[in-house]
Amino acid sequence: MSRIFLIGFMGCGKTTWGKKLSAATGYAFIDLDNALEAEAGMSVAEYFAAHGEEAFRKLESKVLKETEYPEDVIVSTGGGLPCFFDNMVWMNSHGQSLYIKHSPKTLADRLENARVKRPLVQGKSGDELVNFISQKLAERKMYYEQATHIVNGITISAEGLMEVTGIKAK
11 in a labelled binding site: yes
When pLDDT is averaged across residues 6-10 and rounded to a whole number, the result is 97
Tens digit of pLDDT for each residue in 84-98? 999 999 999 999 999
Helix, strand, or coil here: 145? coil
What is the structure's pLDDT at 124?
86
153 annotated among ligand-binding-site residues: no
Nearest to residue 120, comparing CAs of 103, 105, 137, 106?
137
> pLDDT at position 114, please?
75
Query: Has 118 been labeled as part of a binding site?
Result: yes
Q: Which of 79-83, 114-118, 157-161, 162-166 has the lowest mean pLDDT?
A: 114-118
pLDDT surpassing 90 at residue 66: yes
What's the rounded mean pLDDT across residues 64-79? Answer: 97
Region of 132 on the Ramachandran plot (φ > 0 left; ψ -120 to 50 alpha; else beta): alpha
The arithmetic mean of pLDDT across residues 29-56, rounded, is 94
Residue 24 has a pLDDT of 96
13 in a known ligand binding site = yes
pTM of the model: 0.95
Query: What is the model's pLDDT at position 116?
Result: 66
pLDDT at 118: 75
Q: What is the pLDDT of residues 121-165, one digit of tens each?
A: 878 888 999 999 999 999 999 999 999 999 999 999 999 999 999
Ordered by where they begin, the domains of the chain are 2-165 (3.40.50.300)
Report the C-alpha gap between 62 and 17 in whole angstroms. Answer: 24
Of 64-68, 108-112, 149-153, the range with the lowest mean pLDDT is: 108-112
Is 3 annotated to bind a ligand? Reply is no
Residue 79 annotated as part of some ligand binding site: yes
Q: What is the mean pLDDT of the chain?
A: 94
Q: What is the CA radius of gyration of the chain?
A: 15
Q: Is 140 annotated as a binding residue?
A: yes
User: Among residues of the chain, what percentage have pLDDT more than 90?
Assistant: 87
